[in-house]
Amino acid sequence: MDEARLAQAYAAIDTANAQDPETLDWEGEARPKELLHAELMTEWVGRLDPDADEAQLLAARAHHVRRWEVRRDAYPEGRAGYLRWRKEAGRHHAEVVASILSEVGYGNDVIERVQAIVRKEGLRVDPDVQTHEDALCLVFLQTQFAALAGRLGDEKTVDVVRRTLAKMSDRGRAEALALPLSPQERALVEAALAA
């Protein structure tokens, strides 16, 4: 692993994500949402797979790079619209990260692997992609779960969490249960697991 080039790629991805107009409050500080998510994704991938290779780490950092450029409200409401938006967003992230990685000197093999992980190709059969999905779900639970529950109410939240947990490995679900959740959040996660 070329640590200097990896650091250069992280810096370029972070610069792109620092432009996110949406912020999240994290530990008392307003942070650009996708910058925070990229940092947390990188931490989770490293924790879930201490032997993660360079492509996995790059994919973690770039998983939602410049996501705000593909607006959710440009797609129809409901699950079908959501899935179309998510697929288009994945394509967008893969294109942006390819440009960044090419600029810092990565070759096609690494770029194509990063793009495949970002697009979640091989979910459930490719261990690297599954680790990526587990990390994504954990970051969602860390940063957006409470707001979602407040917006949707218990029944809909349990359904969303049930779908989230279904995409995770056993290890990912165990990590989800170990998160510092409020009693209400924990009850919603446990209800989703029971469903």
List pLDDT tens digits, range 102-127: 999 999 999 999 999 999 999 889 99
Question: At 65, is the pLDDT very low, low, confident or very high (cuts 50, 70, 90)?
Answer: very high
Mean of pLDDT over the chain: 93
Q: In 3D, which of 121, 124, 104, 125 has the Cα closest to residue 168?
A: 124
Q: In 3D, which of 124, 137, 149, 144 has the Cα closest to residue 177?
A: 137
Q: Is the pLDDT of residue 189 over 90?
A: no
Question: At 194, is the pLDDT very low, low, confident or very high (cuts 50, 70, 90)?
Answer: confident
Q: Is the pLDDT of residue 195 over 80?
A: no
The pLDDT tens digits for 79-102 are 899 889 999 999 999 999 999 999
Q: Is the pLDDT of residue 186 over 90?
A: no
pTM confidence score: 0.91
Name the residue with tokens 């349990």: 158
